[in-house]
Homo-oligomer: A and B are copies of this chain.
Amino acid sequence: MKNSKNKARILIDCTDAKGLVYLVSKVFFQRGLNIDSNQEFVDKGSGKFFMRSVVSGHFNAKDLESELLSVLPTHANLQLVTPEKKKIVLLVTKESHALGDILIRHSAGELDADIQAVIGNHKTLEQLVARFDIPFHYVSALGVNRMEHEYEVMGKINSYDFDYIVLAKYMRILTENFVNTYKQKIINIHHSFLPAFIGANPYKQAFERGVKIIGATAHFVTRDLDEGPIIAQNIIPVNHRFDWRDMQRAGRDVEKVVLSRALSLVLNDRVFIHGNKTVVF
């Protein structure tokens, strides 16, 4: 498929230097490529340059990559992605709203991803997943320790080809080993407006604190479940009439929309991880 007419997303992240936009756009220009869209950002604090270009035209991916690398600073990260559907594996527990939202989008062809499988530490959602003809694996945590359980979950995950693991309200704490195994590949929805209410039952915490707004946060998972780079957040107002279950109920609408929004950004290669933050184009 050499030099066929196609489209690519070019993601560059490197040390900032004078002329980077010029040097990169020169490569595109000289190869006769169209820039469909282009966004750059320089983080002055760290001196890092980020660029996402969508180009179309005739090109050989390998050649284009080499040429781009040749004009970029050493240690530049370059990704040339041809926009095809990514593959995801979902981890769930009992709540259906986040999973359900993803399943509906998937069935309507609006997800930009193929769901390979859903893995649950409870059987609760098995039937829902079955309705969509998607494999569901029940991996019970009963009678096994955390390591053993995770080992089995990882076995299931690894039996699939996947780009991202999506924790769609997976209510288990992950070990450092798990997180390190899938670095920058795990996306979680946390049921609070992080960094408020880290840890267990954020809605109870929010209720106890008497907040007037609750929220949800989609983020990459690093060592600590609730500490990774934030991709998207949103909120919803509450008041004194909400007990914590009302907050939980109201929060679900935010959670599912924020997770799906974050997923859409990630699946369209719009998110750079930058230390413990993200750059989202």
Contacts and interface: CB of A to CB of B under 8 A. Distances in A.
A29 interface: yes
Given A25-B22, A29-B22, A212 B232 contact: yes
Contact of A276 (B103, B210, B232, B257): B210
Copies of this chain in its oligomeric complex: 4
Contacts of A249: 110
Interface in A191-250: 193-197, 209-213, 215, 229-235, 237, 239-241, 243, 249
A192 to B, nearest CB: 9
A62 interface: no
Interface in A84-134: 95-97, 100-101, 103-105, 107-108, 110, 128, 131-132
Nearest to A124: B108
Nearest to A34: B18
Contact of A45 (B22, B128, B243, B253): B243
Given A22-B29, A108-B96, A196-B195, A276 B233 contact: no
Given A18-B29, A25-B22, A45-B243, A233 B210 contact: no
Nearest to A219: B210
Interface stretch (A5-13, A36-44, A154-162): A36-44
Contacts of A38: 21, 40
Interface in A229-281: 229-235, 237, 239-241, 243, 249, 253, 257, 260-261, 274, 276-280
A104 B101 contact: yes
Candidate in A22, A41, A45, A209 with the most chain B CB atoms within 10 angstroms? A22
A170 to B, nearest CB: 17
Given A29-B19, A240-B280, A277-B240, A209 B235 contact: no
A210 B277 contact: yes
A26 interface: yes
Nearest to A253: B257
Contacts of A105: 97
Given A22-B26, A210-B276, 20 more contacts: A21-B38, A37-B40, A39-B39, A41-B241, A45-B243, A96-B104, A96-B107, A100-B100, A100-B101, A101-B104, A103-B104, A104-B104, A110-B249, A131-B132, A193-B196, A211-B233, A213-B234, A213-B235, A240-B274, A253-B260
16 contacts: A18-B34, A19-B25, A22-B22, A26-B26, A44-B243, A95-B108, A97-B104, A104-B128, A108-B128, A193-B196, A194-B211, A195-B196, A210-B229, A210-B278, A240-B277, A253-B260
